[in-house]
Structure 1
Amino acid sequence: MPQYRKDGVTRRLCASAHLDDDFAHQVDRDLTGDRLNAIGLTLGVNFVALARHARVAVRRRAALDRQMTVLGGVLVVALLVVLGGLVSGHGAVAQSGIYSLLGVLAVAWWLVHRAESQARSATQQVFRDPDKSEKLAPPVEPEAEAWLHELKRANVLPYADAAALDNPFVGSGHELREVVWQPIDVSKPADAPGGGKLQMRPFDAIDLHTYVARQMESISGLDGLRARNRLYVLASHAYMLQDLVPDRTRRPCAQIPKQLVQAGLQSPGAAMRTHLCLERVGEGGRLIVSMYLRAILNHPSLTWEVAVYAIPPLGARFYRLDRLPVAPFDRWWSLVRYATSHTWPELRGAPRRIRERGRARRRSEKFLKKVRRDITDQHVIYDYGAPDSLRERIGDWEQAGYNERTDAADFLNRLQQGVLIATERFLKDHNVDTSSFDKAQQVINTQTYNINNVNGPSNIGPGGQINHPNQPQGSGPSGPGGGAPPNNP
């Protein structure tokens, strides 16, 4: 049977950057612009490919705006010539001015037509071509690409201070569950086969994390499950780790020595904790389910801190490319209509867009200059944290169908059961009596969830709203359909 490509979301976003100017500018600014804040996790998106295509789209738009601005000036001169000829009674002068007006409009129409044709061709190529998206656009700055490559394997994430009270796992989507599981007594040795007790093998939280990370894919049956220990740092404390922020006037690094990641699990402190991050990307990248685990080992008991999140499919704006005409005549006629209807708005709006981009660039440069001066001279503590992720911002639960909901339920059931099985096997391998684990497992397995009436971990109502068990579907703090999604701990 046909299968979704694993890079489906990446190709759709790269293609959409050529059609959506606002999205292209946002991506170009966030991924390659000068900044101090960290960027949220990639979560199944190839940021290098996306940055390249966004840069091509931004340059195409900037070139068209410059051309339209010049033509707009010529248009004004031609109009003055026509008016001058009519007032002075020189018909030949007025006639030449009219010809100039028509010529300017014709050139503007052709430029708009060409730019849109190039954008659509690039869109079709990146979305349909089986080659890698990265190869279909020229590279951006080497420093920016190197940083984006590191971000693919990030083992640390500074999160914005504003998220500290609610969700340190910024950019992971809607919260499905946050819970600390039933404590397990790990102080008693297991019974020996011939009587007596076995000798317990010592272990720590790092050993347990490592075992679960290595075994989860095979235990859960989720092919392609990504498991990685990652240190989450409250961003205002990021400067304390020199390996994370070697230069306080630059953005933080995406990777740090693994010893620091392990230390955040063994002895967490200063708002720095290490979690085992399990990420499962659904078919074609449409859905992403993440489980964040932290083993809390305080003898004689062990427990798991568990947080589960989900990111829905892309919003409707990224499906425009599916409706682009491809038949020769239909494509030609669509481009003619587009150029005819957009020529005047492009001529009229080009100077304004150039001014707005210039103002935005100067405001950003002024802000960063002031912040860097304050950090250097006043030793100001800066919040380097990522507030969210690109993938989270562009998701929309309205685009999640039955298949996505059932997949989410399946992923979460498998992840929860996989963690329990891996924990039991680990304890048995270390000759720990699992009778306490068996009792805790019975309590944990009674926790049921529902995703839009599909059994699984959590309860997501219409529009991605997370409902409490006794709350009517679609209702929130502000009444039916209103308010922000309440937490469901």
Structure 2
Amino acid sequence: MPQYRKDGVTRRLCASVHLDDEFAQVVDGELTGDRLDAIGLTLGVNFVALARHARVAVRRRAALDRQLAGLCAASAVSLAVGLWGLASGHGSVAQVGIYGPLGVLAAAWLLVHHAQSRARAAAHEVFRTSPEKSENLAPPVEPEAEAWLHDLKRANVLPYADEAAREKPFVGSGTVLRKVAVWQPIDVSKPAEAPGGGKLTMRPFDAVDLHTYVARQMESIAGLDGLRARNRLYVLGSHAYLLPDLVPDRTRRPRAQIPKQLVQAGLQNPGAAMRTHLCLERIGEGGRIIVSMYLRAILNRPSLTWEVATYAIPPLGARFYRVNQLPLAPFDHWWSLVRYATSHTWPELRGAPGRIRGRGRWQRKRTKYLKKWRRDITNQHLVYDYGAPDSLRERISDWEQAGHNERSDAADFLNRLQQGVLTATERFLEDHHVDTSSFDKAQQIINTQTYNINNVNGPSNIGNNNQINHPNAPQGNGPSGPGGGTPPKP
């Protein structure tokens, strides 16, 4: 049967930056711009590819605006010359004031048509036709920015914004499917019965051993191919500077990877607003939906328990499906471009100087903001919040695009993850010769818990019938509804 592309979401977003100038500007600023704070996790999106295509789109937009602004200036000069000729009685010169603006308008039409044609060709290539990896279809951006984005794919640390500390430290993970819960404690102080009678000698273990075992075994135990499991240290943004390996330079953005010893320390001996969680992430077909479970083993002998939180990110918003509507037949494609150029030439021409000034003002404001903070950090030792407030993938998602298939997949993933953690824990205890009678009692209580949010901390939830419920979401399989959320600010 036909299958979704594994990089389908990446290709759709790369196509969208070519078709949506505002989104391209936002992505370029967020992924490659100068900053002090962290950005959210990639979550199934190839940020390197997206950054490259966004840069191409931004440069194309800037070049078009410069050309159109030049035509505006030429039109103004032509009009002034024509008025002078009319006032001085030079008829041939006055004609310049009549035909000059018409020539400028015709040139602008050609420029708008050409730019849109290039944008659609790039979107069509990356989304539909090219078998090449999407990141190979655009030139690289700055090496430093690409290296940081590559590290972000395997991030083992994430500073989260202070404003998220109260409710949602797992920033960018989507809708809360269940608030943070602590499972029933398990007594791990008693040795298991030996086959021939007596007691077995318990093998010593710590929380790091349990995390490592669950991370390695979960994919096969839960039956979730492609499950991503990684220990990750979550750090409160205003405390990130306390880790020199995370923020070696307080005037630069934090790193995405730190030594694994620090990640382990965050589990064994949690520090000031620093805790390590086992992050389990399962991406659905084509990346349309992402379900995450965050675990932390709490081993305070004689008891063991799990801190558990679950989240889901729905499909992309409707605005990112425009690439599906691009006409492909030769005549339809030609006519669509003609209509686009005809309807957009005057607004594009008139607004070009304003857009150039607006980008310049934004850049100056951003530079001034960063300069002030860097000066205050250096001279006054002020504490900066380096935490990420969310993720790009979360921000552009929309539950109205989630059909029956995505909802049932999410329910299946969550059930498998919960049961997989329980099974892996039981096997781990058995391997370490721990009596599991207490675990059996705890498991009965844990299995009665359901993922039911009742509209708290987000509009979506999973009910007792293993179905994700959303009071306003459509029940069909296909994308529908208005488009996809507010784009991120650069």
TM-score (norm 1): 0.93
* Conserved? CA contact 1:410–1:456, under 8 Å: no
| 2:484 matches 1:462 | no
Map of 1:137 onto structure 2: 138
What do the CA deviations read for 1:379-424 (whole angstroms, capped 9, x no partner)? Answer: 1111000000000000000000000000000000000000000000
Paired position in structure 2 for 1:2: 2
Report what 1:241 is aligned to.
Answer: 243
Q: How many residues align?
A: 465
**Residues 327 and 454 (structure 1), Cα distance of their counterparts in 2 relative to 1, 3 Å cut:** farther
**3-state SS of the aligned residue for 2:192?**
coil
Find the aligned partners of 2:2 and 2:463 in 1 and give their Cα distance.
25
Match for residue 181 of structure 2 among 179, 182, 187: 179
Q: Provide the C-alpha distance between the structure 2 equivalents of 1:307 and 1:463, rounded to a whole number of angstroms.
A: 24
Distance in 2 between the 1:138 and 1:122 partners? 13
* Mapped contact 2:177–2:461 kept (Cα < 8 A): no
Range moving further from structure 2, 452-461 or 442-451: 452-461
Contact 2:37-2:386 at 8 Å conserved across structures: yes
2:104 is the counterpart of 1:95:
no
Question: Is 2:174–2:312's contact at 8 Å kept on the other side of the alignment?
Answer: yes
Indicate conservation of the 8 Å contact 2:10/2:45, yes or no.
yes
> Does the aligned pair in 2 maintain the 1:396–1:463 contact within 8 Å?
no
Alignment equivalent of 1:415, drawn from 403, 414, 417: 417
**Cα distance in 1 between the residues matched to 2:94 and 2:349:** 22
Q: Is the 8 A contact 1:424 1:434 kept in 2?
A: yes
- Alignment partner, residue 348 of structure 1: 350
Does structure 2 retain, via aligned residues, the 8 Å contact 1:21–1:57? yes
2:337 aligns with one of 323, 335, 338: 335
Distance across 2 between alignment mates of 1:101 and 1:232: 59
Residue 276 of structure 1, CA deviation: 0.2
Corresponding letter in the other structure for 1:427: L
What is the CA-CA distance between 1:61 and the residue it aligns to? 0.3
Percent of residue pairs identical = 80
CA RMSD of aligned residues (A): 1.5
1:274 aligned counterpart, secondary structure:
strand
TM-fit CA distance, 1:449: 3.2
TM-superposition CA deviations, 1:276-330 (whole Å, max 9, x none): 0000000000000000000000001000000000000000100011001111100
Q: Please name the residue that 2:77 is paired with.
A: 77
Cα distance in 2, alignment partners of residues 460 and 27 from structure 1? 31
For 1:462 and 1:57, the matched residues in 2 are separated by 37
**Equivalents in 1 of 2:346, 2:74: separation in Å?**
14
Q: Name the CA distance, whole Å, in 1 between partners of 2:115 and 2:35.
A: 30
Alignment correspondent of 1:119: 119
Aligned to 2:480: none
1:51-450 map, 5 Å:
51-128=51-128, 129-177=130-178, 178-449=180-451
Distance between the aligned counterparts of 2:378 and 2:104, measured in 1?
A: 52
Q: CA deviation at 1:77?
A: 1.8
Tell me by how many angstroms 1:51 deviates. Answer: 0.2
Following TM superposition, where does structure 1 have runs of at least 4 consecutive aligned residues deviating by more than 6 angstroms?
451-454
Range that drifts further, 445-454 or 132-141? 445-454
Whole-angstrom distance in 2 between the partners of 1:206 and 1:464: 41
How far apart are residue 447 of structure 1 and its match?
1.2
Uncovered stretches (5+) of structure 2, i.e. residues with no partner: 453-459, 475-490
Q: Report deviation, 1:251.
A: 0.4
Q: Give the AA of the match of 2:200.
A: L
The residue matched to 1:15 in structure 2 has which SS? helix
Query: Do the aligned residues in 2 keep the contact of 1:452 with 1:462 (CA within 8 Å)?
Result: no
The whole-number CA distance in structure 1 between the counterparts of 2:336 and 2:80 is: 34
Report the TM-score, using the length of structure 2 for normalisation: 0.93
Question: Alignment partner of 1:270: what SS?
Answer: coil
Residue 111 and residue 69 in structure 1: after superposition, are their counterparts in 2 closer, same or farther (change >3 A)? same
Decide whether aligned partners of structure 1 residues 264 and 7 sit closer, same or farther in structure 2, where only a CA change above 3 A counts: same
C-alpha separation in 2, matches of 1:457 and 1:268: 34
Please say if residues 412 and 457 of structure 1, whose CA atoms lie closer than 8 Å, have aligned partners that are also in contact.
Answer: no
Deviations 1:58-85 (A, max 9, x none): 0000000000101001111222333334
Instruction: State the partner residue of 1:476.
Output: none
Is the Cα–Cα contact under 8 Å of residues 233 and 274 in structure 2 kept in the other structure?
yes
In the alignment, the residues of structure 1 paired with residue 468 and residue 429 of structure 2 have an alpha-carbon distance, to the nearest angstrom, of 32
CA contact (8 A) 2:411 2:468 kept: no
Give 1:458 deviation, angstroms. Answer: 8.1
Task: Within 5 Å, give how 1:11-50 maps onto structure 2.
Answer: 11-50=11-50
Q: Contact 1:406 / 1:454 at 8 angstroms: preserved in 2?
A: no
Would you say the 8 A contact 2:72–2:349 is kept in 1? yes
Separation of aligned partners in 1, 2:312 and 2:469: 10
Structure 2 distance, partners of 1:464, 1:214, is 36
